[in-house]
Amino acid sequence: MIRAAGVDADYDEVVKHFQTLFHGNGGNGLLLRERWIASAGLLERLSERFQLALFTGRLRWEAELTLRRFAPGLHFEPIVGAGDVPNHKPAPDGLLHICKLQPDCEVWYVGDTVDDARSAKAAGVPFIGIASPSSERRDELVSLLHAEGAKAVLNDINQLEGVLK
């Protein structure tokens, strides 16, 4: 997006700048402005039927902070973050790591980006996409997720329980 706007920026500098905005200075970062989208009890009910794991493009501590804030009673095992694997999404490294740690489990991946879908496809893991109706580019995202093999594309995470029945 930056290059498309005519700016030549170093990737590491862009990441560093984003991390400054995300982490903030003295509690004003975007990280602390996040909203929890899952309805109360949804993930708790799913955790009664499924072992929950997490593969995120965030650093693990960032994901753990969010989980402690919004879902302190939930247990995700393992949590695989960007710093835990040699290659970031769309590489399948994080999903392959989860599969290796849980060899007897059927693994499904739920995500909201094309990189999530591509990571699942590369790992041979079934994928369920999320594409919010409020997104200006929803139709494009839905098409891309289906093109990458999504088994279903939902409007939001709160529809997941119905798909997994």
| 91-113 pLDDT, tens digit each | 999 999 999 998 988 999 999 99
Contact 52, 75 (CB under 8 A): yes
Contact 108, 126 (CB under 8 A): yes
What is the pLDDT, as a whole number, of residue 26? 73
Q: What pTM value is reported for the model?
A: 0.87
Q: Which residue's entry shows tokens 């499904």?
A: 108
Contact 75, 126 (CB under 8 A): no
> Tens digit of pLDDT for each residue in 76-91?
999 999 999 999 999 9
With a pLDDT cut of 70, the percent of the chain lying above it is: 100
Segments of the chain assigned to CATH 3.40.50.1000 = 39-163
Q: Which of 96, 134, 137 is CA-nearest to residue 113? A: 137
- 76-80 and 52-55 beta bridge pairing: parallel
39-163: what fold? Rossmann fold (3.40.50)
